[in-house]
């Protein structure tokens, strides 16, 4: 299995902390977000040579920091469309590095606890989304609807919270077959000129056509914090410091 971390974003809402570095290198409790994710991957049994990091904004700084901190074995891929296009293309450009493999994909701005990745890796299914099953959902939340069979039926920020099971927290696991279908759909978005899409848009199109059934892994019991702004950063910092003592 290969791991893909989407790390191309600038993180403008974290400025000035991101003036000289990509968002994923902003520290939480003294350690960059990305390094914490890599720590979790190695603890879960991943070899760094099987980790693909998609960079964009200040990619040279990203490469330099990885090399300087013991992560040189990771593959860094540059998404040259990170600024004009949405994040669907960051996932798409990783395809050559992971083709033919199962994939564990996650967003580069998520702080998680050590229990989450083992839970994702142990769950049965060809295509799985990590969902924080809860009621409190807002307009910025990537919301997931779940049908009676337990599969995801809707995935969008625009969904009515009252109809949703919880928040997709930016971590997915795909078999090699499911990943190939996702990559084809990502390229279809590009070919159709739908360049403002999130990668979740490709998931949703596959769901609606019945080509991939996405199951849910409920990670509500795990600590998960997405960092979009300084308030999120402060909350994540406090949670991690409390956990780590």
Domains in the chain: ranges and CATH: 2-244 (3.90.550.10)
Model pLDDT, residue 135: 86
Q: Tell whether the model's pLDDT for residue 244 goes beyond 90.
A: no
Mean pLDDT of 187-207: 96
Query: How much of the chain exceeds pLDDT 90, in percent?
Result: 88
**Torsion sign, CA atoms 36, 200, 139, 115:** negative
Torsion of CA 24, 102, 119, 153, to 10 degrees: 90
Model pLDDT, residue 166: 94
Mean pLDDT of 187-196: 97
Task: Give the chain's count of helices (H) and strands (E).
Answer: 8, 13
Instruction: In whole angstroms, give the CA distance from residue 156 to residue 201.
Output: 8
Contact predicate 167/219, CB 8 Å: no
Q: What is the pLDDT of residues 96-135, one digit of tens each?
A: 999 999 999 999 999 988 999 999 999 999 999 999 999 8
DSSP string, 10-51: --GGGTTTTSSS-GGGSEETTEEHHHHHHHHHHHTT--GGGE
Q: Tell whether the model's pLDDT for residue 245 goes beyond 90.
A: no
Q: Tell whether the model's pLDDT for residue 215 goes beyond 80.
A: yes
Mean pLDDT of 45-53: 97
Q: Give the DSSP H or E segment for 208.
A: helix 199-208
Mean pLDDT, the chain, whole residue set: 95
Coil, helix or strand for 66? helix
Q: How many residues does the chain have?
A: 245
Q: Tell whether the model's pLDDT for residue 18 goes beyond 90.
A: yes
Q: What is the pLDDT of residues 125-155, one digit of tens each?
A: 999 999 999 988 888 889 999 998 999 999 9
**Of 170, 130, 220, which is closest to residue 7 (Cα–Cα)?**
170
Instruction: In whole angstroms, give the CA distance from residue 244 to residue 194.
Output: 43
Longest Cα–Cα distance of the chain, Å, equals 50
Model pLDDT, residue 133: 93
Model pLDDT, residue 83: 92
């Amino acid at each position: 299995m290969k791991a893909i971390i989407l790390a191309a974003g600038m993180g403008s809402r974290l400025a000035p902390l991101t003036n000289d570095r990509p968002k994923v290198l902003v520290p939480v409790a003294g350690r960059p977000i990305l390094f914490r994710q890599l720590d979790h991957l190695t603890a879960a049994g991943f070899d760094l040579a099987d980790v693909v990091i998609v960079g964009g904004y200040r990619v040279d700084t990203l490469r330099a920091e990885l090399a300087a901190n013991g992560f040189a074995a990771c593959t860094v891929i540059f998404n040259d469309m990170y600024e004009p296009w949405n994040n669907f293309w960051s996932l798409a450009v990783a395809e050559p590095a992971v083709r033919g493999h199962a994939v564990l994909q996650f967003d580069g701005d998520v702080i998680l606890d050590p229990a989450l990745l083992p839970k994702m890796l142990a769950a049965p299914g060809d295509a799985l989304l990590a969902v924080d099953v809860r009621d409190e959902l807002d307009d910025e939340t990537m919301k997931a609807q779940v049908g009676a069979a337990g599969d995801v039926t809707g995935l969008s920020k625009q969904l009515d919270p009252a109809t949703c099971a919880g928040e997709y927290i930016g971590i997915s696991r795909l078999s090699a077959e499911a990943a190939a279908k996702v990559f084809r759909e990502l390229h279809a978005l590009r070919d159709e000129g739908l360049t403002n899409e999130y990668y979740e848009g490709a998931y949703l199109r596959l769901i609606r056509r019945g080509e991939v059934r996405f199951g849910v892994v409920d990670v509500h019991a795990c600590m998960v914090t997405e960092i979009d702004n300084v308030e999120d950063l402060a909350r994540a910092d406090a949670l991690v410091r409390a956990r780590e003592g």
